[in-house]
Structure 1
């Protein structure tokens, strides 16, 4: 199984080496450097324009009309989703080309909403969360955007893009974007106690609902949350949530929360006889290129994420069982 994963793109391979094979850090870091020069990371970097933007726009490609949106679906080729993809690829933020792009985007890119400067964000919580995550990862100090994100948190601990329209309830989709962003702020060394507390409250929002159920009725929130896919863009699924909570728990030095169990066992149940996981769905819309072979076929990205969640979950619970076992 790991051999099949290692036959994939450098952006995936270095994560396999670090998270599944536990190779020495100098080895996986050397592989990580290849993201900028080989494979999908290099392809995506090469598609940035002279102004630093992809497809000539911040959120919507230049010249992309409402009619095209209706025909094709939401486009994924403009600057915001490309920067997020490079972050998720693990592109080294110190690489000269990405540092230049980050600078150029700050100088040239403006949001479609009201022409706000790119790294200042706009008014949509999901957009601002990804902007905060990307900027923090690529070395920017976005103090005002971080403060804005904290102010947008709802009383129930989560976030909702519809808050600007009066919503007082959080959503799974917005909350996962927000907690991922705050974790990136903390990783960058900029997050204080207030950021950590806000992230913990957002994660608690998901955990209280077992990552997939309504708090009020216990019903499944959305059948599509059970689909295991990548990339998820702004959308939620249980694998994305479980992988974030794994990453957060490792950083915080915490054991897995048992309220994740239903979601984890769902992920386990989707494993095929050959040990791989399939791509359940693809988001409709324009892309630069695809990362897997297609819906219904084995997905290296889904398999990587599922395996590292299960490795972490099973190892922690085996350790706990060992400690609790009576001495004979």
Structure 2
């Protein structure tokens, strides 16, 4: 099987990233394919689900149809997770369809519990990290979110959504979410020494644990962390972490080596990777052929670009 050809025989959201990250296609070819994300396939379907008031499924973090039978934490169809998915699909932020969608969010969407504008953020770092990444990717001002994240960094370098007084131990989930937001903010041209210092401290929290293992006994913190997923939502996993460090540390870091080898060992004999974990809950639509336990284009794309980085950096 020609794995690259198989990945290219897919949705524009995957094709343009394969071209950019695996085939080194010319920039204009990549841009032309990327331009299709907003008007074809999954990207177009997701954009079409947005209402005129800027929201998806009548809610910001939790859908409007929350009830006893469909609790909010099992639904991924509200505005915030929809925007995170849109970012993962990677449409051109300048596409008219995308500009219109983000303008609606900026002008109309408010957080459910307090009513503040979406791009001002809320209080939990796992949510704020995702909102900051969305804002930076789509060219929005999210300075209030940055300040909230910086103020909430814990003494061990990470973040925890469940912390109430600054004394909690950091969470892998919350820390990676915050890091993704801060890194996207820097990449959008908003770098500062304060942001960079906070990001590097947060990275150290994960790197000191080799992305997966406890410092105390060397055991994997949570077996689910070793199971690649997509969409990742707010959940931590080894592939999500390595894909982050691929961008954050292009020269590599030796402390990623064990995680890289774990990922390498999951490759199937024909060169693909499985979707090992699907986070349960309602979704707008299913990705074609992306069932749990089966070979996955999304996981394979991300794994191959991670290994390409790791090999080049000699990790």
* Band the TM-score falls in, shorter-chain normalisation: over 0.9
Match of 2:60 in 1: 58
The residue aligned with 2:257 is: 261
Structure 1 distance, partners of 2:137, 2:276, is 29
Residue in structure 1 matched with residue 245 of structure 2 by the alignment: 245
Q: Which residue is 1:235 aligned to?
A: 235
The answer for the alignment partner of 1:139 in structure 2 is 139
The aligned counterpart of 1:103 is 103
1:112 Cα offset (Å): 1.9
User: In the TM superposition, what whole-angstrom CA distance separates every residue of 1:243-294 from its partner, at most 9, and x where no partner exists?
Assistant: 10001123xxxx2111111110010000011111011121110001122431
User: Counting helix residues as a fraction of each chain, which structure ranks higher?
Assistant: 1
**Mapped partners of 1:99, 1:295: distance in 2:** 33
Structure 1 CA distance for aligned equivalents of residues 75 and 227 of structure 2: 21
Q: Identify the residue that residue 181 of structure 1 maps to in structure 2.
A: 181
* Structure 1 position 167, deviation (Å): 4.6
1:301 shift after superposition? 0.4
Distance 1:241 1:200 in 2: 14
Q: Measure the CA separation in 2 of the matches of 1:200 and 1:299.
A: 32
Matches within 5 A, 1:1-328: 1-69=3-71, 74-164=74-164, 167-250=167-250, 255-291=251-287, 292-317=289-314
Count residues with an aligned counterpart: 312
Gapped regions of structure 2 (runs ≥ 5)? none
Aligned-partner Cα distance in 1 for 2:122–2:280 = 24
RMSD over equivalenced CA pairs, Å: 1.5
Poorly superposed stretches of 4+, deviation over 4 Å: none
Consecutive unaligned residues in structure 1, runs of 5 or more:
319-328
Shift of 1:148: 1.1
Contact 1:228 1:302 (8 Å CA) reproduced? yes
Kept after mapping to 1: 8 A contact 2:74/2:282: yes
Q: Distance in 2 between matches of 1:290 and 1:165?
A: 40
- Report the secondary structure of 1:284's partner residue: coil
Residues 1-55 of structure 1 deviation map (CA, whole Å, 9 limit, x = unaligned): 1000001111111111111111111111111111011110011011111111111
Q: Would you say the 8 A contact 2:159–2:178 is kept in 1?
A: yes
8 Å contact from structure 1 (residues 125, 174) kept in 2:
yes
Q: Is this contact kept in 1: 2:264–2:307, CA < 8 A?
A: yes
Superposition TM-score, scaled by structure 2 size = 0.95
Distance 1:284 1:224 in 2: 14
Q: 1:43 & 1:67 partners in 2: Cα distance?
A: 26
